[in-house]
Structure formats: C-alpha cells, structure tokens
C-alpha cells in the first residue's frame, strides 16, 4: 500500500511570511494524484491544491504553491504571505490514477500556527 509521510508534526510562521510544509510518499505507480487538504479548528476538511503526477508544472492556487519532485517522491506546500486564517492542520494525500481506485492515502498532518 502507498504511504504518505509528513515529518513535521507542528510548524509556525510569522504573519505575512512564507512557510513550507513537507510531504513524501512511497509508490510504485507512475500515474497518480497528490493533494493538500486543510482542516481548520472547525474541522471541515478543505481542498487546498491538487497536482497530477503526469504534469511537470507545479500547481499554484493564489498564495499556495507546491514543489513536486517526482523522482524524489516529494510534494511540499508553500504558503506565501501567511494569514491568520491559514492556521490549521494540513494533510498531504495520495490517490492512484487508476479509475477503479477510490482510496485516498493521508499523512498524519502538520499543525500550522500563524503568529500575529
């Protein structure tokens, strides 16, 4: 089974600064999808950004961008100009591109604190 590892249980960033959250994964597949989800204290899991493994270009979504290194099986999330509302648990997730595969494999999460 695929595994997703987030080695930083907690991170903190000063408001308006930039922070990078790490994620690595293990798979033997060549085609797959990677996701970053955010779970604020209200608990609703929200999709932040998505990356298709066949695309070399890193995904960006406003202040959020990823550094996707397929050979290294690394998928980090960069948050620029951090805001207080960015404080949350961040989960990295992997899904096979096989149309018959439904399972999302999640990491254990990184708790991000934003310091005013």
Partner 1 sequence: ETGVTQTPRHLVMGMTNKKSLKCEQHLGHNAMYWYKQSAKKPLELMFVYNFKEQTENNSVPSRFSPECPNSSHLFLHLHTLQPEDSALYLCASSQVILQGTSTDTQYFGPGTRLTVL
Q: Interface residues with partner 1 (CB under 8 A)?
A: 4, 31, 33, 35, 37, 42-47, 50, 52, 91, 95, 97-99, 102-109
- Tokens linked to 105: 């494999």
Q: Which is nearer to partner 1, 37 or 75 (CB)?
A: 37
Q: Which is nearer to partner 1, 16 or 97 (CB)?
A: 97
Question: Could you give the 3-state DSSP secondary structure of residue 85?
Answer: helix
CA-CA distance, 74 to 22, in Å (whole number)? 8
Q: Which is nearer to partner 1, 82 or 91 (CB)?
A: 91
Question: Could you give the 3-state DSSP secondary structure of residue 42?
Answer: coil
Q: Which is nearer to partner 1, 64 or 105 (CB)?
A: 105
CA-CA distance, 64 to 6, in Å (whole number)? 18
Cβ at position 89, least distance to partner 1 in Å:
10
* Count of beta carbons in the 10 Å neighbourhood of residue 35: 21
Cβ at position 107, least distance to partner 1 in Å:
6
CA-CA distance, 94 to 107, in Å (whole number)? 9
Cβ at position 116, least distance to partner 1 in Å:
26
Cβ at position 15, least distance to partner 1 in Å:
26
């Amino acid at each position: 089974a695929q595994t997703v590892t987030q080695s930083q249980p907690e991170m903190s960033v000063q408001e308006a600064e930039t922070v990078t959250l790490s994620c690595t994964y293990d798979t033997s597949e060549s085609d797959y999808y990677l996701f970053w989800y955010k779970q604020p204290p209200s608990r609703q899991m929200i999709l932040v950004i998505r990356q298709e493994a066949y695309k070399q270009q890193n995904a960006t979504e406003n202040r959020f961008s990823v550094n996707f290194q397929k050979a290294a099986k690394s998928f980090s999330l960069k948050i620029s100009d951090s805001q207080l509302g960015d404080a949350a648990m961040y989960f990295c997730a992997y899904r096979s591109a096989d149309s018959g595969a439904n399972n999302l494999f999640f990491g254990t999460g990184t708790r991000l604190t934003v310091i005013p």
